[in-house]
């Protein structure tokens, strides 16, 4: 591991993106014999797994360039329920026992390809009046999240076995897959949340070329 590097790391579920950065910083600092400069180029939610681009040393100045790249995810959408956070970590509420047909699912998914409007989740790192939205939400404040235009380049149905829809989706930077899952649930009239999420590509960077986070643990 060099002082000025671009590292591809496979984040496991259950730790934060900042936890990954901390592990890399600790390992590199030990190698260099001084405190290393380490940053990330876009977070993954704690429940999510997959590719993170970690930058070190002088490469940290390029972090914003990497963060703007498009991304590919594989996700599982659980129908019939909603989550207060859009993921497994929130309060889960039963909504509907309606079972959509495969045709229903394909039709709903087709409506989310191209430029779409998204309202990011309250539990996100977006800043509202200088504060992270998730911090305000945890304090019980109702945060009105502004809509944004994002692009879904492709949306592939990998499997549908009720209540689970597995998709592979290629999206622009700034797209929230949790929100996409919720919106698909609304389109189907069943409610939904994202209970599994894995990032497999960031532009031409692939998860196949990454190393596990455990490689950076002492």
87 is catalytic: no
Q: Which pLDDT score is estimated for 25?
A: 95
pLDDT, mean of each 10-residue run, the chain (218 residues): 88 94 94 92 93 95 93 98 92 96 98 93 60 59 77 98 98 95 97 97 97 88
- How would you label 18-31 residue by residue, b for 16+ Cβ within 10 Å and e otherwise? eebbebbbebbeee
CATH number of the domain to which 123 belongs: 3.30.2350.10
Check whether residue 48 and residue 93 sit in a common domain.
no
CA 125 from centre of chain: 11
Residues 195 and 107 in one domain: yes
Cβ-contact 164, 181 below 8 angstroms? no
Question: pTM of the entire structure?
Answer: 0.89
136 is a domain residue: yes
Which domain, by its residues, includes 197? 71-202
Domains in the chain, number: 2
Is residue 10 in a domain? yes
Q: What is the pLDDT of residue 46?
A: 92
Q: Which member of 4, 10, 45, 70 is catalytic?
A: 45
pLDDT of residue 127: 62
Q: Is residue 1 part of a domain?
A: no
- For residue 163, say if its preceding peptide bond is cis, omega within 30 degrees of 0: yes
Closest residue by Cα to residue 17 from 45, 57, 37: 45
């Amino acid at each position: 591991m060099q002082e000025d590097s671009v590292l591809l790391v496979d984040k496991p579920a259950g730790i934060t993106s900042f936890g990954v950065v901390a592990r890399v910083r600790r390992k590199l600092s030990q190698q260099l014999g001084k405190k290393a400069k380490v940053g990330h180029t876009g977070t993954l939610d704690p429940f999510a797994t997959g590719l993170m681009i970690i930058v070190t040393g002088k490469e940290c100045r390029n972090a914003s360039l990497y963060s703007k790249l498009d991304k590919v995810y594989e996700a599982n959408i659980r129908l019939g329920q909603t989550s207060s956070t859009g993921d497994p970590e929130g309060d889960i509420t039963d909504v509907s026992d309606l079972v959509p047909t495969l045709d229903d699912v394909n039709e709903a998914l087709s409506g989310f390809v191209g430029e779409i409007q998204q309202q990011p989740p309250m539990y996100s790192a977006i800043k509202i009046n200088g504060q992270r939205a998730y911090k305000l939400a945890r304090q019980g404040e109702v945060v009105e999240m502004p809509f944004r235009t994002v692009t879904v380049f492709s949306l592939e149905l990998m499997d549908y076995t009720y209540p689970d829809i597995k998709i592979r989706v290629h999206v622009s930077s700034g797209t929230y897959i949790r929100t996409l899952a919720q919106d698909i649930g609304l389109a189907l009239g069943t409610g939904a949340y994202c209970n599994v999420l894995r990032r497999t590509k960031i532009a031409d960077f692939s998860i196949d070329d990454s190393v596990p986070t455990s490689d950076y643990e002492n």
